[in-house]
Amino acid sequence: MRDPSPVPGQTTAPYRWRWLILVVMLVAEIMDLLDASIVNVAGPDLERSLGASSAGLQWVIGGYALTLGAGLVLGGRLGDRFGRRRMFLIGLAAFTLSSLLCAIAPNIASLIAFRLLQGTAGALLLPQGLGLLRENFSGPELTKVFAIFGPVLGLGGIIGPVLGGFLIEGDFFGLGWRSVFLVNLPIGLAALIIAARFVPRRAGDRTVRVDTVGAALVAASCALLVLPLNQGQEDGWPLWTWLCMAASVAGFALFAVQQRRTAAGGGEPLVTPGLLRKPAFTVGLGGIALFFGGLIGTQLVLTLYLQIGRHFTAGGAGLGNLPLAVGTAIGGAVSGAFLADRIGRTVLQIGPLVQLLGAVLLWFELDGLDAASFSVWDIAPGVAVAGVGAGMVIAALFSFILAAVDDDEIGSASGVLSAVQAVGGSIGVAIFGSVFFARARTGDFDGGFHRALIVQACLLVAFFAVTFLLPRKGRPEQEQHGVVPEAADGDPGTSPQRLSV
């Protein structure tokens, strides 16, 4: 495929197949987002089929997000060096193959390993999408692309449990939970063929150096944090779990020092060092982790409660997530269309308060349940209200954090935020899963849900406090993707904003 970039001094027509590129990017990245949540409803089936323990389930669900988040920034740098088309194709092929491996996993240990591999492939695939779109669209068309891209990706994250429940309950060809991974095969192969044929080749910049030491420090630090959180409850919190968490904190601190030294020595760090000197940005990283850890964790607990505690089928548990999805969509629409521009940062403070209101409603709904006649409608009001608050935050959070960074730092900043979002979700799965299963093992499922709501409330209060340290105004949508007036014709970065539930 020819390179459609113009020759200096010449004007060329826009690339003919550019809208097909948008379709391929959307399909590939929706696959990636779906797999972050599609297995949430597979817990009981995995327990019956593979003998998965509670810790094993947490690894299957959270392990994907762990390796995805740990590798996102590195994936963007590899695209800079070797070319985004090449890395996109490699990532898509690896993602499709790892999906097949997950589907044929003979035991829970193999499935966890293949999920970690799938997340790594996603980390290579995901950062290339918006970079490829910026290479093939410009001007008003690029703004239209972003207007399409964001909502579609948000939808991909929301429908994961619903689609997973449909596939598992349908038990097509007797595949059960394996179908949630096999569904990626025809989609991935079709996207791979189309991308290989129609995405134009562009050479990467071989002068870009990849900071493998920094990438290794991030991966090791993330693993040292999530491993004890997943295993601690099951093993009784032995000494090694606390030592691992302490080593994780030291590892992240060492990463920050290493990044500064790499930049001072003329190298190219994974993270622009100036970002770590911006208090609003570093506080924003904590806010991202708190918010998405609580959001992803409570969504998991809701699904586990419906399936394990109330004996819902996978399909019923998937549909039980609809009040949350609808509430999130409403909150996001209201925030994005009206509130964020008019009241600024206050929308980030209203959002967690609405979520807290939803948690209080849900608490009392759980207290008044009749086990014999329970239906999802008994808890739908509280879940929906919490979703509205979450949607208000999701629609605006990245823009307010990115408002604290300079234009030439947007690419690096958005990649770091996306990585923290994914890792925060993995930590949320570990913490909330441990809290819920600690009571669920004794048959007290309502108590497990109550404890999860307490943890969520604590995280929301901490997030509410963090919002007062963020900029008062957000960055415009197009600038969040690196399209700024000063760099409209350049290449302002590769890493995408990734918002999902």
DSSP string covering 373-426, please?
A: G--GGGTHHHHHHHHHHHHHHHHHHHHHHHTTS-GGGHHHHHHHHHHHHHHHHH
Would residue 494 count as lying in a domain? Answer: no
- Dist. CA 48–CA 53, nearest whole Å: 10
pLDDT confidence of residue 316: 87
Query: 105-109, 154-158, 385-389: which range is least confident on average?
Result: 154-158
For residues 248 and 265, the model is more confident at 248
Confidence of residue 493 (pLDDT cuts 50, 70, 90): very low
CA distances from 216 to 70, 397, 468 (A): 9, 28, 33
Q: Is the pLDDT of residue 385 over 70?
A: yes
- Dist. CA 17–CA 19, nearest whole Å: 6
Would residue 9 count as lying in a domain? Answer: no
pLDDT confidence of residue 354: 96
pLDDT confidence of residue 271: 86
Q: Quote the distance between the C-alpha of residue 499 and its chain's center.
A: 6
Percent of the chain whose predicted confidence (pLDDT) is above 70:
89
pLDDT confidence of residue 9: 43
Q: Is the pLDDT of residue 342 over 90?
A: no
Q: Is the pLDDT of residue 150 over 70?
A: no
Find where tokens 């027509």 sit.
13
Amino acid at 142: L
pLDDT confidence of residue 328: 87
Confidence of residue 153 (pLDDT cuts 50, 70, 90): low
pLDDT confidence of residue 254: 94
Would residue 345 count as lying in a domain? Answer: yes
Q: Which of 474, 410, 418, 416 is nearest to 282 (CA)?
A: 416
Assign residue 345 the CATH number of its domain. Answer: 1.20.1250.20
Q: What is the pLDDT of residues 239-255, one digit of tens each?
A: 999 999 999 999 999 99
pLDDT confidence of residue 151: 65
For residues 116 and 325, the model is more confident at 116
What are the structure tokens assigned to 456, written together?
């969520």
Q: Is the pLDDT of residue 39 over 90?
A: no
Would residue 11 count as lying in a domain? Answer: no
pLDDT confidence of residue 10: 41
Determine the structural domain holding residue 299 and report its residue range: 18-487
- The DSSP symbol for 501 reads -
Q: What is the pLDDT of residues 310-328, one digit of tens each?
A: 888 888 888 888 898 889 8
Confidence of residue 8 (pLDDT cuts 50, 70, 90): very low
Query: 145-149, 158-162, 381-385: which range is least confident on average?
Result: 145-149
Q: Is the pLDDT of residue 344 over 70?
A: yes
Q: What is the mean pLDDT of residues 229-245?
A: 88
- The DSSP symbol for 309 reads I
**Into how many domains does the chain fold?**
1
Sign of the Cα pseudo-torsion (155, 160, 161, 166, in order): positive
Confidence of residue 116 (pLDDT cuts 50, 70, 90): very high
Helix, strand, or coil here: 175?
A: coil
Helix, strand, or coil here: 257?
A: helix
Amino acid at 138: S
Would residue 256 count as lying in a domain? Answer: yes
Q: Is the pLDDT of residue 81 over 90?
A: no
Would residue 189 count as lying in a domain? Answer: yes
Would residue 467 count as lying in a domain? Answer: yes
Confidence of residue 32 (pLDDT cuts 50, 70, 90): confident
User: Is residue 215 a contact partner of residue 71, using CB atoms and an 8 Å limit?
Assistant: yes
Q: What is the mean pLDDT of residues 411-416?
A: 82
Q: What is the mean pLDDT of residues 162-175?
A: 85
CA contacts within 13 A on the Cβ side of 47: 13
Q: Is the pLDDT of residue 11 over 60?
A: no
Query: 158-162, 184-188, 303-307, 414-418: which range is least confident on average?
Result: 158-162
User: Is residue 482 a contact partner of residue 414, using CB atoms and an 8 Å limit?
Assistant: yes
- Dist. CA 418–CA 424, nearest whole Å: 10
CA contacts within 13 A on the Cβ side of 303: 33
Q: What are phi and psi of 311, to 5 degrees?
A: 60, 35
Highest mean pLDDT among 167-181, 191-205, 442-456: 442-456
Confidence of residue 206 (pLDDT cuts 50, 70, 90): confident
Would residue 497 count as lying in a domain? Answer: no
Q: What is the mean pLDDT of residues 285-311?
A: 92
User: What string of H, E and C letters represents the secondary structure of 411-425?
Assistant: HHHHHHHHHHHHHHH
Mean pLDDT for the chain overall? 85
Q: Is the pLDDT of residue 211 over 80?
A: yes
Confidence of residue 491 (pLDDT cuts 50, 70, 90): very low
- Dist. CA 1–CA 199, nearest whole Å: 7
Q: Is the pLDDT of residue 489 over 50?
A: no
Is the pTM higher than 0.75? yes
Q: What is the pLDDT of residues 431-486, one digit of tens each?
A: 999 999 989 888 899 999 999 999 999 999 999 999 999 988 876 665 665 555 44
For residues 39 and 204, the model is more confident at 39
Q: In the chain, how many H helices and how many E strands?
A: 22, 0
Helix, strand, or coil here: 11?
A: coil
pLDDT confidence of residue 374: 84
